[in-house]
Chain A
């Protein structure tokens, strides 16, 4: 079942205000977050561009790949000069998707065996399963 999750710009801004306590409009598009992000090269929409997208447009979250790539390393949160906390914004979008049953993959598609470190599974489950 294809689940779409299209949120309007207003809804997105409200959710993000609630879940991060910060405002998207503070972003000045300096690009620092993208520069420091260790995952940005694997994202379809890099952090600074994602913030801009959320500022100006309605978004179908189910189509974003970037939200499943972020590892919440929080480098962007610590370094953003305007305290926009892009990492928290990405995790908000991830939570909104997970809470509606959208997951990137199931356990059966992963190489899990008796030697898989538990920490690997626990951290994966905590971030990418809902």
Chain B
């Protein structure tokens, strides 16, 4: 099918079927161009939700390559497989049971002790993270390091797919991140102070007044605020 597209076309293989697609498109757009409709495995289209991981190989090279369909540009003769879901069964966790201890994490996920540091996980990460270093940090007892290393994890599951120890990486990282956030990250004092003020009712009167006003009254206040940068006296809270 020729079109007004003046650029070149490349051939990509999806499930071993060949498609001619315009050069320069992402894999996701290219597959849609070819008529494939994404009913699963597509999300934010911005490289952050982890819904569209792909595995692919290039001609003349044995290496497995990974990426996100929405972020990877098509390459001539690439052979693609979509991985919309890697199965994990999350454990049921009660907030009251959560403890800031590596023993808690390892008891929840004992398969962490099967890690042989093969590094298949890091080779599979489309975000360029190192899940192996995070797992080893947990085994060393360093939860904070593990949480810091996996902050950008998008839970795509490719590492778990490749792991010979069958570790459920993104579930582990989620729990570790929560633990570090709950127990180790310093609380923001100004937010705590503001919440206290709100609970004490410092802002209640102003809010009630605003809520009871009519739309054109609100608009007058807003326009005057835009001009002068100041709120009317009855809304100022000291």
Contact = CB atoms under 8 A, between A and B. Distances in A.
Q: How large is the interface on A (under 10, 10 to 19, 20 to 34, 35 or more residues)?
A: 10 to 19
A112 B107 contact: yes
B110 A125 contact: yes
A72 interface: no
A123 B101 CA distance: 20
Interface string A112-125: 11111010011011
A114 B99 contact: yes
A114 B139 contact: no
B114 A116 contact: no
B103 to A, nearest CB: 4
Interface in B87-117: 99, 101-104, 106-107, 110-111, 113-114
A116 B111 CA distance: 14
> B102, B104, B113, B139 — which one has the most chain A CB atoms within 10 A of its CB?
B113
A125 B113 contact: yes
B95 to A, nearest CB: 16
Given A113-B107, A114-B107, A121 B113 contact: yes
A13 interface: no
A122 B107 contact: no
A118 B111 contact: no
Given A112-B107, A113-B107, A118 B114 contact: no
B113 A116 contact: no
A103 B150 CA distance: 31
B1 to A, nearest CB: 48
Contacts of A129: 111, 114
A129 B115 CA distance: 11
A118 B106 contact: yes
A126 B107 CA distance: 16
A21 B102 CA distance: 40
Nearest to A121: B113
Given A125-B113, A125-B114, A129-B114, A118 B107 contact: no
A107 B103 contact: no
A111 to B, nearest CB: 10
A115 B103 CA distance: 6
B104 A121 contact: no
A107 B114 CA distance: 12
A121 B110 CA distance: 7
Given A114-B103, A118-B113, A125-B110, 18 more contacts: A107-B111, A112-B107, A112-B110, A113-B103, A113-B107, A114-B104, A114-B107, A116-B103, A116-B107, A118-B102, A118-B103, A118-B106, A121-B110, A121-B113, A122-B113, A122-B139, A124-B113, A125-B114
14 contacts: A110-B110, A112-B110, A114-B99, A114-B104, A114-B107, A116-B106, A116-B107, A118-B106, A121-B106, A121-B113, A125-B111, A126-B113, A126-B114, A129-B111
User: What are the 10 closest A-B residue pairs judged by CB atoms, nearest first?
Assistant: A114-B103, A121-B113, A125-B113, A107-B110, A122-B113, A125-B114, A114-B104, A112-B107, A114-B107, A113-B107
